[in-house]
Structure 1
Amino acid sequence: MAFAEQGGLPSLEILFEHMADAVYLLDPVTSNILWCNRAAYADLGLQASEVLHHSVLSLQKDVQGLPQWADIAQVIRTADCYTFVGRHRHQDGGEIPVEVNTTHFNHQGCDYFLSVARNISKRLSLDEASSTRDERLRFALEQAMDGLWDWSLLTDAVYFSPQLKRMLGYGPHEMTPHVETWKHNVHPDDRDQVMSLIDQHLRGRLMRFEAEYRLRNRNGHDIWVHDRGQVCERDAQGRPTRMVGMVQNITDRKLLELRLEKMASIDDLTQIPNRRSGMAALDQQIALSERSGGPLSVGVLDIDTFKSVNDRFGHAVGDEVLYRVAVLLRQTLRPSDLVYRSGGEEFVLVLPAAGRETADAIAADIHAAFEAKDWEGDLGVPDVTVSIGLATYPQDQPQLHKLLDQADLALYRAKEIGRNRTCRAGDLLAAPAPSVSPID
């Protein structure tokens, strides 16, 4: 970018090169740096070629990915000046705290962002001679934590630290300093629990407030936080008047925990509960039936001749059949029912509050759904059928903990007498027990 020299004065380009602040001209869509002055790269230990035509996200540590950039760009377009306090990466691996002020403009039909980034390291340093002990303590806490809040219970005014505002995507002068601002950002599903924990602490039932919950940032995304707080001031009657707390962003850890929990409870192939979590759910339903005396039915379902599908079409097709079977079962069962993969081609049906008649009807619906599906057209395999063994408490089995075993025996009977059918545990009393386990 060139700027003409006029009337003997230095050109605008020379003026920009001598600015102490970094200046960037950005493409709002791609986030690419179209032009920058010397401070924009030299202060970061970089060369101009390492900055120009690269994404500004490569410099910024607090904005990750184009989706988040698109959200911020939308805010910039609607603001006269968007202020963001963040951190720029230095070439040596360190970081530089910066305050970035961004404006938008249109030139010859093209939109641009103009950002001025100021190094605020000196502003953040403390003058020991003029700082009080409380100020130094607050400074240390603010720098050590992702966020700090200070709530006056008398006025409901809340101080939000710059780090907390930055964590939620706000500038240093944004976020109304009131408790309702915070309440509004707490995820609706977490709000009651969080407020209950705070109330218990204020009433002296908990030594301190501590919770993990979701906070919504300015762009509508939820982040997970670990929030801890405690009453620090009381009036003459001992009533709490001030409460302070610290917030830590635990989104990465929480998402990892959720993924691990899912891996531990969900069958990776069929995306339904695995045997471990399915058995836990069955135990819960057994306990409920024991307390209420209500009926409970359990079914064991096996895909007929599944080994031949693997042998003829390969395991990839076999895996797809297993997945489609799981989908079909979820679609056919009632919302209150549960299906989990027990292993191989075997699935277990847990049918709460289902007596014999209801369980028989559900099994009939399953057979009908398998018969109606075009397996040949969808996967190129012959029609897939299933055998089902059912056991119902209390009609078939008065002992709840034997339901699964009884349903399993009924399944063997169904496969022995021809497959593609349902047999009941109660019917085994009138039929000879299978002497040899049927081969799939």
Structure 2
Amino acid sequence: MGFIWGMRLRGASKKVITPVTSWSESEPEITIPPEFLCPVSIDLMKDPVIISTGITYDRTSIEKWIESGNNTCPVTNTILTTHDQIPNHTIRKMIQGWCVEIGSSLIERIPTPRVPLMPHEVNEICRKLSSATRRGDYEKCGEIIERIKKLKAEGEKSRKCLNENGVGFVLCECFEKFSGDEKLTAMLEEILSLLTWNVPIGSKGLTKLASASSFHCVAGLLKSKDDSVRENAAFLLKEILASDETRVHAFAVANGVAEALVNLIRDSVSSSATKSSLMAISHMVFQKPDNASEFLDIGLVNLTVEMIIDGNNSVCEKALAVLDAICETKKGREEVRKNALVMPLLVKKIPKVSESATKSSLSVILKLCKTENAFAVEEAVRLGAFQKVLLVLQVGYGEETKEKATELLRIMNTKMKIMSDDDDDDCVDPSMNVSQEAILMF
């Protein structure tokens, strides 16, 4: 006995088979042979495959089943000894023949699916690209890179297969080999683009990108006139700088990376480019605080404040991390204090954005209160920071965040007692004072 299905054509951009819930003369009925239906989706199979138990499923359905953590055959409930899927060409040809027989006016013929990319194919691609790179055969490298680009465009499964089988490393090898040749800029830009979706690149690949010639090339592309190239370069620089190698940060200073990153933020190329630039800046300053001076001279503090005000939560989080890094130095703290919006924004962002943003906000306030004059503490208290920080201890954040909150509460609590004892100050509610024992309870 077949399954009765109907075709809903009205208002559809392409023909789709859907179950009929109410019969109508305007919706012709189609009986789909049960052997053409996927046991999981109960829909016509477009790419039938056989798994280890001998049951045929539509590839997409069985892959979703396995990726969801299931390790059994949906029909037999037998434990799968392997997740390999073999195309069932016989069933596929039968389905295609049936589609033609039904008539193209009612149902589209299912095209022959592309065979998924396999690990051994990727390994062969890596071998050929690595060999061509060692020979210095840039033309062959270009051909292979173009093939990788096409395979990547086939879909998520192909991209995943490429990522998991060493393509990232050989692309880094190739980039390093030809990074000094300006005539090959177009090929290097293609490699850069491919590497942005090949994260994590891995320590070996990053070592190749962190070489003097590679870094110089990436820094040069960061100043390109093409915004997409600048965005890709910022993404890779962020990954390289995260390695915290001292020589890499020296390369960054020597290659004028600071100004290029700030310009990329100012140009508002994209949210992704802004986030990558902010993360790269925070890596540079945290690793070597002296780098902060270079950023301060080109107006990074005011620009970062703008990002906190106007950016989405993710951008705001990165911008707060940059402020935290800048406050590692005395000059940085002085520049931050000059901006009247900083303290109100820091207090406002506790604990609204994320734990990471809250930790950065607490860290900046703490650095200002510990190392600057008492006005910073008083301002934080007046803006309601005490209540916000107390809330942080109640929410259940991580230990590092709680430690910063506890230390900041002690400083503010002391200041609040002084303020409440001041006869000339009627702006502070003495009931807000919390004992040291109460703070330690958290």
TM-score, scaled relative to structure 2: 0.29
Q: Which has the higher contact order (CA 8 A, sep 6+)?
A: 1
Structure whose residues are more often helix by fraction:
2
TM-score, scaled relative to structure 1: 0.29
